[in-house]
């Protein structure tokens, strides 16, 4: 199915700068005339708000299922309608976050891929990274929002897991852009993303394609 809008997702370790960069990217694209809708996961509906509110004590497979259920509902009720209305959708956290955050909770990747097998794949999956010390510094300045941001060892583990997630997404034929933000301002990062974004979504990505899946 062709669709006119582009789904651009931003993922990366907690505190790396996703929300800040997404705001800069939305401003940049709007300045250049693109209709933009910004959103986030967990989404801003009842299921998403429940998931966000309880993610500190619902863990592992149960949290993975909640996040995936919210994602399917988010796609159906918000993302796909906006894409169909020719808007670019910028989403703060999406599939790559699942491939990292749920693994921090000990959930195996094959389970996560099965659970997310039918989600809409992004036209561009941006993975923001930075030196772990820089991420820790940004987190300290901003303050931790949830349990995954409280352990000082987590940024280094997340950086490594996002490198693995990049390879998984590439095997799924998702265009991936990894950007190191250690030395870049949010607006410089936003400009790089805008340069790399596909002109419009003119290719069909088979959302059933799985890494190493011979289908």
Cα–Cα distance measured from residue 11 to residue 176, given in angstroms and rounded to the nearest whole number: 11
Pick out residues in 116-145 that bind ligand TYD (CB under 6 A).
Answer: 145
C-alpha dihedral (156, 66, 176, 40), degrees to nearest 10: -90
| Distance in angstroms between the alpha carbons of the first and the last residue of the chain | 19
Shortest spacing between CB 50 and ligand TYD, in angstroms: 11
The secondary structure of residue 147, as a DSSP letter, is: G
Strand order from edge to edge, sheet including 88-92: 36-40, 88-92, 7-11, 124-129, 176-180
Count interface residues toward ligand ADP (CB under 6 A). 16
Shortest spacing between CB 204 and ligand ADP, in angstroms: 31
Nearer to ligand TYD, 146 or 160 (CB): 146
Helices (H) and strands (E) in the chain, counts: 9, 5
Q: Does 158 bind ligand TYD (CB under 6 A)?
A: no
Shortest spacing between CB 137 and ligand TYD, in angstroms: 16
Nearer to ligand ADP, 18 or 71 (CB): 18
Contact residue for ligand ADP among 3, 5, 8, 16 (CB under 6 A) = 16
Residues in the chain: 215
Residue 186 backbone dihedrals phi, psi, to 5 degrees: -55, -40
Contact residue for ligand ADP among 51, 186, 190, 193 (CB under 6 A) = 186
Shortest spacing between CB 180 and ligand TYD, in angstroms: 19
Label residue 72 exposed, middle or buried (CB < 10 Å: 0-12, 13-18, 19+): middle
Q: Does 82 bind ligand TYD (CB under 6 A)?
A: no
Task: Write out the E strands in the chain.
Answer: 7-11, 36-40, 88-92, 124-129, 176-180
Nearer to ligand TYD, 101 or 190 (CB): 101
Shortest spacing between CB 111 and ligand ADP, in angstroms: 25
Shortest spacing between CB 146 and ligand TYD, in angstroms: 4
- Site residues (CB under 6 A) for ligand TYD? 14, 41-42, 52, 55, 63, 67, 93, 97-98, 101-102, 145-146, 148
What are the residues binding ligand ADP (CB under 6 A)? Answer: 12, 14-21, 138, 141-142, 181, 184-186
């Amino acid at each position: 199915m062709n669709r006119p809008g582009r789904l651009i997702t931003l993922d990366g370790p907690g505190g790396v700068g996703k929300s800040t960069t997404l705001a800069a990217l939305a401003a940049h694209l709007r300045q250049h005339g693109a209709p933009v809708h910004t959103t986030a996961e967990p989404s801003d509906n009842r299921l998403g708000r429940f998931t966000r509110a309880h993610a500190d004590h619902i863990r592992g497979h149960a949290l993975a299922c909640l996040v995936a259920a919210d994602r399917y509902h988010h796609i159906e009720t918000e993302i796909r309608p906006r894409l169909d209305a020719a808007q670019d959708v910028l989403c703060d956290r999406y599939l790559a976050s699942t491939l990292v955050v749920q693994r921090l909770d000990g959930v195996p990747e094959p389970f996560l891929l099965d659970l997310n097998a039918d989600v809409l794949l992004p036209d561009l999956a941006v993975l923001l990274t930075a030196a772990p010390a820089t991420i820790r510094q940004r987190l300290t300045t901003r303050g931790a929002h949830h349990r995954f941001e409280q352990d000082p060892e987590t940024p280094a583990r997340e950086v490594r897991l996002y490198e693995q997630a990049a390879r998984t997404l590439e095997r799924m034929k998702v265009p991936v852009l990894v950007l190191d933000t250690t030395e870049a301002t949010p607006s410089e990062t936003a400009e790089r993303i805008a340069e790399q974004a596909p002109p419009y979504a003119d290719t069909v990505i088979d959302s059933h394609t799985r890494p190493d899946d011979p289908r």
